[in-house]
Amino acid sequence: MTDDDGRAWLEAHLRDLGVAYELFACDPALADTAAFCAAYGFPPEDSANTIVVVGKSNPPRFAACVTLAPYRLDVNRSVRDRLGTRKASFAPADVTARLTGMQLGGVTVFGLPPDLPILVDSRVMARDRIILGGGSRAWKVISTPAILRALPNAEVVEGLAADPRPA
């Protein structure tokens, strides 16, 4: 996929949501959150990361979880309980790529399989703006949290993520 293809794919998944957004091109080598924020001057508190989690069951259960960069996704309690499984973990990169068609550093909630639940930490919804992955490592989406409410399978969850570990 070229950068132009990635932009067209992303716009196709955003245009009908009815929420204003800005597409931000970035160097794919700087797509990971810490590098992106440092290089482009965005605060990590505005970076809303999409993380695929797998619940250990037969068949496995998946969810896309959105949390702000400084916080730790509570996979072992909150996410596991939402999935209704005894155990849960971060999905490996190859599983995430197979399920979403996206690489780590670019995973986004837009264009996911329609049956994949999207769990959003409530802190994300309190931000004035958020920066989300754009489906490839070359694009980010800047919008208000309202863009997440526009997704039919998104659920806001109190306590989905825990406070950051002290430095």
Closest CA to 82 of 167, 156, 162: 156
Residue 119 lies in a domain: yes
Which residues form the domain of 109?
3-162
pLDDT tens profile 47-87? 999 999 999 999 999 999 999 999 999 998 999 999 999 99
Domain count, the chain: 1
Torsion angle of C-alpha atoms 81, 84, 86, 90, degrees rounded to 10:
-70
The pLDDT assigned to 165 comes to 66
Residue 89 lies in a domain: yes
The pLDDT assigned to 1 comes to 45
Q: Are strands 118-121 and 61-68 parallel, antiparallel or unpaired?
A: parallel
Residue 32 lies in a domain: yes
Termini Cα distance of the chain: 39
Residue 109 lies in a domain: yes
CATH of the domain at 97: 3.90.960.10
Residue 167 lies in a domain: no
Contacting residues for 47 by C-beta, under 8 A, at least 6 apart? 33, 36, 37, 68, 69, 130, 131
Residues with pLDDT less than 70, the chain: 1-4, 165-167
